[in-house]
Amino acid sequence: MKLETALQILKEDHNFRAIINQDKYHYQGEDWTFQQLSYDSRKTSEQTLFFAKGQQFKAEYLESAIQQGLRYYVSEVDYQVSIPVILVNDIKQAMSLIAMEFYQNPQNKLKLLAFTGTKGKTTAAYFAFNILQEEWKPAMLSTMNSTLDGHNFFKSQLTTPESLDLFAMMAQAVEQGRTHFIMEVSSQAYLVKRVYGLTFDVGVFLNISPDHIGPIEHPSYEDYFYHKRQLLANSRFLILNQQMDHIDFLLDSIADFPHTTYGLGSPNTIQNASAFNFQVTGELADEYDIQLIGDFNQENALAAALACHQLGASPTAIKAGIANTKVDGRMEVLPHPSGAKIFIDYAHNGDSLKKLIDTVAHYQKGKLALILGATGNKGESRRKDFGILLNDYPDLDVVLTADDPNYEDPKAISQEIASYIHRTVTIIPDREAAIQYLLEKNYSNKDAIIIAGKGADAFQIIQGEKIPYPGDQQVVTNLLQKNRVGTNG
């Protein structure tokens, strides 16, 4: 791609300011062609157009890249090094639009489906993937696992990747013959413009509740909600949960857009629901089998079904896709030797935790026990939300533990949660020890143990590093196999 093309893109977006030092250092100019995009100074060469992004970026990173042959960089700041800088007003906008063109606009060769919401994005994405896979060739970017060829899966680093990575992945999906591209789109994706300039064929807004509010995320709920609803302005067809907060405001804002809704009070409702079966009225009226228990999972299935229907999926494919969907770490159920049930779920904010506890209580009528933690250095409002919520369940046996403490002390995080709870709870910072402690208690077949937060994550984030962790299901399985928990009940 020629530099001239990149400059024209920046100018059309009103994002170009100047090229500084091009004449001084006798560089080739706008005829120069680059063959790689990068925002990692360790991955550069003389054929790289480099983007200097981030508040922590340092001139020394550029100096290192120059030693590798770097000839130009794009930046909001002139770092006064020995190569020209292409100055822009917004580096993230520049990255996204240039990446689109560099990768030959792969977004135009795929049907794009995006899910946003405080919770349920991953589950809904999995439902959509399984539905579309019946008749098409979907790719998927998910918090849990991603696939660009429909067969090989990998763990995602971000809910929504940086734009350079996103469009590279889209291009790879096109090369692999994929027809559809399913994404989870976070509020951060719009806050830091990872999907700037991208229009989705179908956008689904699952729900909204306070989350991701803190010093390095959103400064307020209003800001979080604002960035969530940017998906509505950047989708050709919209699907919304009729029962979500602020629905009247949202529907008013999209009155002129093609859209539909689902849930109580909408044309598409769930009726006669049981643990593994539900009926739908409306445009997809039928009876559906499902492996994931809980009303919220049935709602996620319906949202995905409506989205896939809009993208051309047949009723047969929708039924089969929903019935075949299983998600690691989402409402997984294991048996305790006593006959009690062990529920493992990714629920990691107040709203999703409430739905998890209520769902388990609906099926298990005995005593309930819960293992819970909160992440360090992000989503700090969750700690208070958890504490206040747990006051509504005075008979719930609560053990607080580590859940990606990062640079914070997991014991201190647990103590902060406990400070909002009006009863005594147990704090065991080591997560495996906490699980063992709870599994060793006496239970009956009506009881339940809920292990919330980590789901299938096989790591703990500690001091900025992903430290290997077996995963909650594997920890439970190991303890049961080693007979390290009792069978009394």
Asked whether residue 215 carries a pLDDT value surpassing 70, the answer given is no
> In angstroms, how far is the first alpha carbon of the chain from the final one?
69
**Which one, of 361, 362, 379, lies nearest residue 370 by Cα?**
361
Where would I find the beta strands (DSSP E) of 56-156? 72-75, 85-88, 111-116, 138-141, 146-147, 153-154
The sign one gets for the Cα dihedral 419, 422, 426, 432 is: negative
Residue pointed to by tokens 């990068």: 38
Residue pointed to by tokens 């100047």: 18
pLDDT at position 489, please?
42
Greatest Cα pair distance, the chain, in angstroms, is 81
**Which one, of 316, 272, 317, lies nearest residue 298 by Cα?**
272
Asked whether residue 26 carries a pLDDT value surpassing 90, the answer given is no
Strand partners, 37: 49
Which amino acid belongs to residue 168? A
pLDDT at position 24, please?
64
pLDDT at position 488, please?
46
Asked whether residue 22 carries a pLDDT value surpassing 80, the answer given is no
pLDDT at position 145, please?
87
d(CA 48, CA 33): 9
Strand partners, 2: 33
In 330-451, which ranges are continuous DSSP H helix?
Answer: 350-363, 381-390, 410-418, 431-439
pLDDT at position 86, please?
95
Asked whether residue 122 carries a pLDDT value surpassing 80, the answer given is yes
- More confident of the two residues 211 and 368: 368
Give the SS3 label for residue 41: coil
DSSP, res 33: B
DSSP, res 373: -
pLDDT at position 204, please?
98
User: Percent of the chain at pLDDT above 90?
Assistant: 79
* DSSP output for 180-239: EEEEE--HHHHHTTTTTT--EEEEEE----S-SBSTTSBSSHHHHHHHHTHHHHTEEEEE
409: CB partners within 8 A, 6+ apart: none
pLDDT band at residue 486 under the 50/70/90 scheme: low
Q: Provide the token pair at 106.
A: 């792969």
Region of 183 please: left (phi>0), alpha (psi -120 to 50) or beta: beta
pLDDT at position 329, please?
80
pLDDT at position 209, please?
79
**Which one, of 81, 74, 59, 100, lies nearest residue 15 by Cα?**
74
Helices 91-102 and 3-12: crossing angle in degrees, nearest 10, is: 130
Rounded to the nearest 5°, which phi and psi values hold at 16? -95, 135
The mean pLDDT of 246-263, rounded to a whole number, is: 94
d(CA 468, CA 371): 20
**Which one, of 487, 22, 363, 286, lies nearest residue 302 by Cα?**
286
pLDDT at position 210, please?
63
User: Tens of pLDDT along 290-333?
Assistant: 999 889 999 999 999 999 999 999 999 999 999 999 988 888 88
d(CA 459, CA 343): 19
Three state DSSP letters for 406-425: ECCCHHHHHHHHHCCCCCCC
Asked whether residue 3 carries a pLDDT value surpassing 70, the answer given is yes
pLDDT at position 485, please?
60
**Which one, of 328, 307, 381, lies nearest residue 351 by Cα?**
381
pLDDT band at residue 216 under the 50/70/90 scheme: low
User: Tens of pLDDT along 131-188?
Assistant: 999 999 999 999 888 999 999 998 777 778 999 999 999 999 999 999 999 999 988 8
The mean pLDDT of 430-439, rounded to a whole number, is: 96
pLDDT band at residue 200 under the 50/70/90 scheme: very high
Residue pointed to by tokens 């990691």: 348
